Amino acid sequence: MPEFHAATALLPQGWAADVRIRADAAGWITAVEPAAMPAAGARRLAGAVIPGIPNLHGHAFQRAMAGGAERRGPAGQDSFWTWRETMYRFTGLLSPEDAEAIAAMLYVELLEAGFTSVCEFHYLHHQPDGTPYADPAEMALRHLEAARATGIGITLLPSLYRHGGIFGKPAAPGQRRFLNDLDGFAAIVESCRRAAAGDAQAAVGLAPHSLRAVTPAMLLAVAAMDGPIHIHAAEQRREVEECLAAVHARPVEWLLDNAPVDARWCVIHATHMNAAEIEDLAASGAVAGLCPSTEASLGDGTFALPAYLGHGGRFGIGTDSHVGTAPREELRALEMSQRLSLQARAVATTEAQPHPGRLLLDAALAGGAQAGGRALGAIAPGRRCDLVDLDAEHPALVGRAGDALLDAWIFGPAGGAVRSVVCGAAPLVEAGRHHARPRIAQRFAQVMRRLLA
């Protein structure tokens, strides 16, 4: 059975030295023993070992756009909404084979940075003219295959997308590949469930795209299904204004008043909330899915982190459009956005936890595990054996230990500090590189050259 020995490791009870970690053949941790001698044949993890970090939100195909939609538009008034039109044009180019190659490259990059699972919020369902593939779940299943090829854990989130605005406005031509009715959506979900059945590295949830894309009746129908539920809400001020005009309520307010929002739910972005929404979302037990690099890239705004944490709110991190692919980048951007907004330092801290790196990491581990519906986020029996070995001799980390090392990793110049990554007890990254990177990168490069020709 797989066995690992960590020089130091972050356990639920805190940092410990000489930690023996045993797993079964299916990749579940069976025993964790601090202050243990290395067993013969155990794989040595010589740095500071933390749990693998869940990525709770991403659209893999957008990895192929990252950095390529930055040029000023003709009108000189660029925004999320102009970026979205660029994204719609790009989606018309992608075949299932392209989508799989792009997803595999992304998942390699996520693993190399310390993410060991991803929630794939998938809405690119059909052929460019909107006609379903022979298997309507073809595109979703390509992401499952990419996850299996790279070894990353995945929660597939097929997205229900029917309309182009709140509530029930016609969809735009660029959205035709996304569109399903409830029956078509249910068929995709069921196909994904069959494909993931018995796979300890995979789960399936549900993603009503947003209040712009589904009706109230559709939202309640999805809520009656099994699995974690993810939805975009309140990402942009214009979205809030449109919701107020349509139903005289703000998006998060409307969700909380009209849908059974609880710990199964992950509300993506939730950027523009008022004080009542912040308090009520925190009280619901739902997770706020924060994607700071993308939210900065798209000019979304700044999440009200201190107020949300003050009410006991749960959150996790995602990479969304994948302009960033590293957990340290997302955690750093989250804290730095608060510092810029509030003109203060060490915002994500408490008297009991003065290190922002530790508080942010703990929240991302717990919130990401909850949102993904998988047993992740801790080095403990019954959890997935997902381990990230940080190089304690890296110039940014050398001489530091414990929570101070986490601060240095997140806030210092610590690129490349992830030395090895284990996912489901399988070693996937060694010396900072995924074992399948050359093959997957070559295929990705071929796709990109054709798409950009």
Q: Which residues are catalytic?
A: 269, 320
Neighbours of 350 (CB within 10 A): 10
Q: What is the 3-state secondary structure (H, E, C) of 22-44?
A: EECCCCEEEEEECCCCCCCCCEE
Tokens 């639920």: give the residue.
12
CA dist 351 → 101, 106, 348, 355, 398 (Å): 46, 38, 11, 9, 26
CA angle 54–58–61, rounded 5-degree value: 135
DSSP secondary structure string for all residues of 85-148: HHHHHHHTT--HHHHHHHHHHHHHHHHHHTEEEEEEEE---S-TTSPPPSSTTHHHHHHHHHHH
d(CA 106, CA 433): 13
Q: Is 297 helix (H, G, I), strand (E, B) or coil?
A: helix
Q: Is 301 exposed, middle or buried (0-12, 13-18, 19+ CB in 10 A)?
A: middle
DSSP 234: S
d(CA 388, CA 91): 33
Q: Which residues pair with 390 in a beta bridge?
A: 48, 418
Instruction: Please choose, from the candidates 299, 241, 236, 238, the residue with its C-alpha nearest in 3D space to the C-alpha of residue 270.
Output: 236
Q: Are 163 and 213 in contact (CB under 8 A)?
A: yes
Neighbours of 96 (CB within 10 A): 17
